[in-house]
Amino acid sequence: MSSEGRLVPAKRPREAGSLGTAIPCLSNFFSFKVIGTEEITKFAVAFDPELPATEDMLRMKLVRKAASGFKEHIGRYVYANTAVYAVKKSPVDQFTASVTYDNVTYSISLKRVSEIRQNEVELRHFYNKFFNSVQGNLSLIMIGRKFFDFTAPIQLNAQYGITLYPGYSTSVLPLEGGFMVNIDVAHRVLHTQTVYEEMKAAVSRCRGNVNAELDKMLQDKIIVTPYNNKIYRVLSVEHSMTPLSSFQKKDQTVTYLDYFKAQYGIAIKDPQQPLLECCREDRSR
C-alpha cells in the first residue's frame, strides 16, 4: 500500500536474493536452446493488391502458396501475419513471389527490416510464433491463444452430452535465466449433439418467432465441422438460403448440396434446412 493509502501492485524481484534459505521448486517453465549463432532476420510482408492485417487467414494462405519461391532466398521461415522471420541470409534485401487465389493474382513482397538477435521484444515475438508454428505442424488446432488436439477426444458419460478435447497454451517469456517457454494444460468442451439436432429441438419447442429463436441460440457460438476438423464462429442464420441454394465456383454454378457431396462425400439429408454464415475461428492452418 502506498503512503496515500492506495493499493499498488507488488514488485516481483527479477533475480535471486542473497538472504533466506533456498528451497527446490518445480514449475511449468522450460528452458530451450537455439542451435547456431546466425542472426534472425525480420522481413516485412506486403501484398499487391493490398490486404489489411485483419485478413489474416487469406494472408496466411497466400504466403503458404508462395512458400517455394520464398525458400529459394531465405530457406525455412516463420510467418507472423505482417512479418516473416528467417535464419538463412538472403543475397538481396527484397524479393517478390506471385500466386493466384480465387482467380486473383497477388504479388507478395518480402523486404528486409532488421536483424533481431539482440532485440528482446522481437525475439519474444519470434519465439512465440515459432512455437505456434510447431504446434500447428503437430495437427493441433489453434482457438484463441490455445491449441487443441481434435484427434483425441475424451468421451464423457453419455448423459452429459459433452466431449472434452485436450490442449495446451504456450507463452515464451524473457526471464533471468534467459528465454523460457511456459506450457499450461487446457481443455475445450463441446456438445455431442449436432447443430442440426439442436435447431430441430428448438423449432419443436418454440411457440413464438422461430427465426428469432434460432438467431438468439446460434449467434457467436463455436462449432466444429468433423469432416475436416475446422473450427468456426457462427455469424448468423441465413433463413432464406438452403443446401439447394447455389454459388459460383470458378466458371460454374453449383448448389451447396452438390458441393458437399463432391468435396466431402456427404449426402445432406434435409435440403430445406437453413444455412449458417460462419467465419474461421482456428488460426493454425
Residues 204 and 272 in one domain: yes
Read off φ and ψ for residue 179, nearest 5 degrees: -70, 135
13 lies in some domain: no
Domain boundary among 165, 191, 217: 191
Residues 201 and 261 in one domain: yes
- The mean pLDDT of 176-199, rounded to a whole number, is 88
Residues 213 and 276 in one domain: yes
Strands 222-225 and 230-238: antiparallel
195-205 and 210-218 helices cross at what angle (nearest 10)? Answer: 140
Residues 269 and 206 in one domain: yes
For residues 36 and 275, give the distance between their C-alpha atoms in angstroms, rounded to a whole number: 52
Give per-residue pLDDT as tens, 56-92. Answer: 888 888 998 999 888 888 888 888 888 999 887 778 8
21 lies in some domain: no
28 lies in some domain: no
Residues 232 and 253 in one domain: yes
- The mean pLDDT of 123-132, rounded to a whole number, is 89
Give per-residue pLDDT as tens, 133-174. Answer: 888 888 888 887 889 998 888 887 767 778 888 999 999 988
- How many domains does the structure of the chain reveal? 3
168 lies in some domain: yes
> Which grid coordinates belong to 65?
502458396
HSE, CB side, 13 Å, CA atoms: give it for residue 231: 23
Residues 71 and 108 in one domain: yes
Domain boundary among 79, 96, 115: 115
Residues 159 and 107 in one domain: no
| CATH number of the structural domain spanning residue 266 | 2.170.260.10
Residues 57 and 111 in one domain: yes
User: What is the reported pLDDT for 285?
Assistant: 40
CB 36 within 8 A of CB 58: no
6 lies in some domain: no
For residues 157 and 165, give the distance between their C-alpha atoms in angstroms, rounded to a whole number: 14
- The mean pLDDT of 229-237, rounded to a whole number, is 87
What range defines the domain where residue 168 resides? 120-191
If we measure between CA atoms, which residue out of 200, 207, 206, 205 comes closest to residue 273? 200
